């Protein structure tokens, strides 16, 4: 269910401050009929708009199993539209177009070990599939979550990190960049790829979902292959390259691939076939 050009009218129902520059917005559909019928899959994205200011592209950060009648998006302030989104308060209205794109191959992950690797705000799309999987926990084997940020203050979804850390059937590994720790910090200190190689999760029978800054994804994939993970089992999302969401503006094309229409979710096996300049 999607509207290509006309956005749905959304009500801001909750604003959660994650970090000094990142907020999560809970958005309810103003139209009860849309709220009842709207569906999406973990990994899909949308266009979020502030009227008269423009729109920006983000994943849907909530899980399909936990967001009936609403969606969530997490916004890092770095430009004009994202700044306007940060100024919204509970009761304000905004627009949403979507869902667009493909999604994480949930059914292909059934019966396997799962490893989620995320950095910074890259936890947003991974959060969606994490909750999706945890809500059907009996369909998976071991679940490991490795998440890192520049500093303790830059960790997002702190309440959920605490919740995951208390689960007996989830292994949570947290890390911050060197210099980003505090005296009270009990997690790892090191970049995400470095920590990944240090903890060395087993590659056998394991599916990986990873997202973060492009440089983190690049070196995380290299670390995963060093650890023996198969290219087809490494899954990431390239949503940072997108703009219009419809394959019209050309910002996200890589050779003959349009990230917004052919992705944003790809396996590393697929990405290796992209043009070398990528």
Instruction: For residue 273, tell me if it sits in a domain.
Output: no
- Reading the block at residue 127, the tokens are 């959060």
Cβ proximity of 115 and 230 under 8 Å: no
Both 87 and 23 in one domain: the answer is yes
Both 172 and 192 in one domain: the answer is yes
Both 157 and 187 in one domain: the answer is yes
By DSSP bridging, strand 70-76 and strand 93-100 are unpaired
Both 139 and 160 in one domain: the answer is yes
Total count of domains within the chain:
2
Both 147 and 180 in one domain: the answer is yes
Both 145 and 55 in one domain: the answer is no
Cβ proximity of 99 and 45 under 8 Å: yes
Closest CA to 192 of 160, 214, 162, 161: 214
Beta strands, E only, 156-254:
170-176, 188-189, 206-211, 234-237, 253-254
pLDDT of residue 17: 97
Both 214 and 118 in one domain: the answer is yes
- Output the domain CATH number for residue 33: 2.40.30.10
Task: Check: pTM over 0.85? Answer yes or no.
Answer: yes
Both 45 and 149 in one domain: the answer is no
Both 60 and 15 in one domain: the answer is yes
Both 132 and 223 in one domain: the answer is yes
CA distance 231 to 210: 13
By DSSP bridging, strand 234-237 and strand 206-211 are parallel
Instruction: For residue 166, tell me if it sits in a domain.
Output: yes
Both 135 and 184 in one domain: the answer is yes
pLDDT of residue 3: 54
Torsion of CA 180, 81, 96, 31, to 10 degrees: 110
Last residue of a domain, one of 46, 73, 100: 100
Both 90 and 18 in one domain: the answer is yes
Instruction: For residue 42, tell me if it sits in a domain.
Output: yes
- Output the domain CATH number for residue 120: 3.40.50.80
Contact partners, residue 222, CB within 8 Å, separation at least 6:
193
Contact partners, residue 187, CB within 8 Å, separation at least 6:
173, 174, 175, 176, 181
Tracing tokens 């240090």 back to the chain, one arrives at 198
Domain that holds residue 83: 8-100
pLDDT of residue 217: 95
Last residue of a domain, one of 73, 100, 127: 100
Using alpha carbons only, what angle is made at residue 39 by residues 6 and 46, rounded to the nearest 5 degrees? 45
Instruction: For residue 254, tell me if it sits in a domain.
Output: no
pLDDT per 10-residue tile (average), the chain, 278 residues = 76 98 98 96 96 93 95 95 97 96 97 98 97 98 98 98 97 98 97 98 97 95 98 91 77 84 94 76
Instruction: For residue 41, tell me if it sits in a domain.
Output: yes
Tracing tokens 């059907």 back to the chain, one arrives at 136
Cβ proximity of 178 and 189 under 8 Å: yes
Instruction: For residue 265, tell me if it sits in a domain.
Output: no
Instruction: For residue 277, tell me if it sits in a domain.
Output: no
- Reading the block at residue 126, the tokens are 């991974």
Instruction: For residue 15, tell me if it sits in a domain.
Output: yes
Last residue of a domain, one of 100, 120, 139: 100
pLDDT of residue 1: 46
Helix, strand, coil percentages in the chain from 3-state DSSP, rounded to 5: 30, 30, 40
């Amino acid at each position: 269910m999607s509207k290509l050009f006309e956005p749905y009218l959304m009500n801001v129902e909750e604003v959660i401050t994650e970090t000094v520059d990142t907020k999560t917005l809970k958005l309810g559909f103003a139209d009860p009929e849309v709220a009842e019928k709207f569906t999406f899959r973990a990994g899909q994205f949308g266009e979020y708009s502030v009227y008269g200011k423009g729109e920006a592209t983000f994943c849907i950060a909530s899980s399909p199993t936990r967001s009936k009648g609403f969606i969530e998006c997490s916004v890092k302030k770095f430009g004009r539209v994202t700044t306007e989104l940060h100024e919204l308060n509970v009761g304000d209205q905004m627009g949403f177009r979507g869902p667009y794109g493909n999604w994480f191959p949930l059914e292909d992950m059934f019966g396997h070990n799962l490893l989620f690797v995320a950095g910074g705000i890259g936890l947003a799309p991974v959060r969606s599939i994490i909750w999706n999987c945890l809500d059907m926990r009996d369909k998976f084997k071991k679940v490991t979550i490795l998440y890192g940020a520049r500093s303790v203050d830059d960790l997002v979804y702190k309440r959920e990190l605490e919740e995951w850390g208390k689960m007996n059937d989830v292994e949570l590994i947290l890390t911050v960049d060197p210099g980003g720790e505090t005296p009270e910090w009990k997690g790892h200190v090191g970049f995400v790829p470095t920590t990944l190689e240090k903890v060395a999760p087993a590659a056998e029978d394991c599916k990986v979902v990873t997202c973060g800054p492009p440089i983190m994804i690049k070196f995380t994939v290299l670390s995963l292959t060093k650890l023996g993970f198969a290219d087809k089992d490494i899954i990431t999302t390239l949503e940072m390259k997108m703009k219009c969401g419809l394959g019209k503006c050309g910002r996200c094309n890589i050779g003959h691939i349009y990230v917004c229409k052919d992705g944003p979710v790809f396996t590393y096996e697929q990405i290796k076939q992209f043009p070398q300049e990528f």
